[in-house]
Amino acid sequence: MFIDIKTDKPYTIMETNQQIVEGLYAAFSQGNVPFILENVAENFTWQDPNDPAIVPHGGSYSGRREFLNFFQQLDADTATLSFNVSDYATADNLVIATGQHGVQAKKTGKPLTFEWTMVWRFENGVPVSGRSYYDTASAEKIYQ
């Protein structure tokens, strides 16, 4: 808690939705999945657009436990070579981020760098859902 020097009244610093997403991406880059899970809603939903029959981490995940499964599967089948955020756009309860992700499928050894867009939805300052958009045809090829 902080004290406003003009009014002598206490206040807290609230993070913006964008700052929260920036923190989640920083945690992802450091492999800090517990931080990510602690900072999303208990019933958080994540959607990866890949076909889970081809890319094991593809599909929908509902709740923190399933979101953890997403990260475990991602770690099991994919090596992250690079992860960069290039831009953010915000509106009301949405944060839209764009960037590039360099990966290598562990099973095939094939690499790929692709551009992505992720849409995060918030309720009361907490992420309640996220969805990734990218070229799944190219992504799925490296897993086959």
Q: What is the CATH number of the domain that holds 111?
A: 3.10.450.50
Q: Mind listing the pLDDT tens digit for each residue in 25-75?
A: 999 999 999 999 999 999 999 999 999 999 999 999 999 999 999 999 999
Give the model's pLDDT for residue 1.
47
For residue 84, what are the domain limits? 2-141
Distances in Å between the Cα of 62 and the Cα atoms of 46, 54, 135 are: 7, 20, 23
- With vertex at residue 118, the alpha carbon angle to CA 112 and CA 124, rounded to the nearest 5 degrees, is 150
- Count the domains in the chain: 1
State whether the Cα torsion 50-52-53-54 is positive or negative. positive
Evaluated on CA atoms 96, 102, 105, 108, the torsion sign reads: positive
pLDDT digits (tens, 9 = 90+) for 61-118: 999 999 999 999 999 999 999 999 999 999 999 999 999 999 999 999 999 999 999 9
pLDDT exceeds 90 at position 134: yes
